[in-house]
Amino acid sequence: MSDKLEKKIHRVLELYRWLSEGKPVVKAEAAQQLGVSGKTIQREIDIIRHFLWEHAVDDVENNILYDAKKRIYYMIHKNPMMFTNEEALAISKILLESRAFIKSEMMRILDKLLACCVPLRNQKIVNEMIASERYHYIELQHKKVFLDKMWLIGNAIHESQYLQITYVRAKDHRNVMRKIQPQAIMFSEFYFYLAAYIEDIDKKKAFENADDIYPTIYRLDRICDVKVLKEHFTIPYGERFEEGEYRKRIQFMYGGRLQKTTFWYCGYSVEAILDRLPTAKILKEENGRYLVSAETFGKGIDMWLKSQGDMVEVVKTERKI
């Protein structure tokens, strides 16, 4: 390849990169920066425009327009693959509020998110809007890095492979070893969790409810060691784990028997209750009080309802087999 052709390819790619990142191209400035004439810049932008026109896809159509008033070229997207300012800000806020990762990991994720998914001209704006929250970010007490472990577990779920884990129990801080069938990774209120069926265990000794047919819940940061076994497990189609349905009923990440709780609610926003408990149904309303029923796993709901104080009055709890 000749030196002249190589330089031309470099210029075209550089112009394309600027435009695709949302950077407006001023012909005179681009010509000076790339060491060519304005006419050359014009011809090479036309090459990019023609290429985009030839290879346009139905849902992703890029085009280069010229703003005569500002004297700039810019790229428009029929279906932008990058986030808007609003989307980037919202996702950054959710990430920071989750407190899901240690500070160094969270900052790295935010930097990558903004660098890869936000047009260059918008990155500074979004960064300024979250600067205070980044500076005052407080990581969780466990201070554990577990993304590589989570990916390992996720692959085992995908391939239906057994895991051998060493887990630190919350109640007595003892290490226990378990052979498990991993089913799903979930996130709730600061922590990632693994739902899994335990193998080779005496349920009468280990569990409060020996007939519990539902997965056990493990907090990912408490799994101190994990080994993927070569052995695979099989679950019949009719008995497969329905993560979405299970997730509706395990809002508090406590394993245990399925139960139906009926209670009166007299707070300001019954919508907040319905959002907190996806299975909740309003049975009736009397003078601003709502009779609500909800299905959940375990006793986590009992503690949550007590935390609502006088706004909640439990009527009955029915535990199911």
CATH code of residue 45: 1.10.10.10
Domain assignment of residue 157, yes or no: yes
**CA distance linking residue 258 with residue 89, whole number of Å:** 38
Domain assignment of residue 113, yes or no: yes
Across the beta sheet with 281-286, what order do the strands follow? 281-286, 289-297, 258-265, 312-319
Query: Which domain range does residue 118 map to?
Result: 85-135
**Residue 260 in contact with residue 317, Cβ under 8 Å?**
yes
Q: Of the residues 28, 55, 77, which one is the last residue of a structural domain?
A: 77
Domain assignment of residue 246, yes or no: no
List, for residues 14-26, the tens digit of each pLDDT value. Answer: 998 888 777 889 9
Note whether 233 and 168 are same-domain residues: yes
**CA distance linking residue 19 with residue 17, whole number of Å:** 5
Q: Of the residues 188, 212, 241, which one is the last residue of a structural domain?
A: 241
**CA distance linking residue 280 with residue 80, whole number of Å:** 37
Q: Which residues contact 26 (CB under 8 A, 6 or more apart)?
A: 71, 72
List, for residues 164-204, the tens digit of each pLDDT value. Answer: 999 998 888 899 999 999 998 988 888 899 989 888 776 66
| Residues above pLDDT 90, as percent of the chain | 34
Domain assignment of residue 141, yes or no: no
Q: Of the residues 77, 110, 127, which one is the last residue of a structural domain?
A: 77
Radius of gyration in angstroms for the set of CA atoms belonging to the chain, rounded to a whole number: 28
Amino acid identity, residue 252? F
pLDDT at 255: 63
* Number of domains making up the chain: 4
Instruction: Indicate the Cα dihedral angle 140, 144, 149, 154, nearest 10°.
Output: 0
Domain assignment of residue 252, yes or no: no
Note whether 156 and 235 are same-domain residues: yes
Note whether 151 and 232 are same-domain residues: yes
Query: Which CATH number covers residue 315?
Result: 3.30.70.1150
Domain assignment of residue 140, yes or no: no
pLDDT exceeds 80 at position 62: no
Query: Which CATH number covers residue 165?
Result: 2.30.30.520
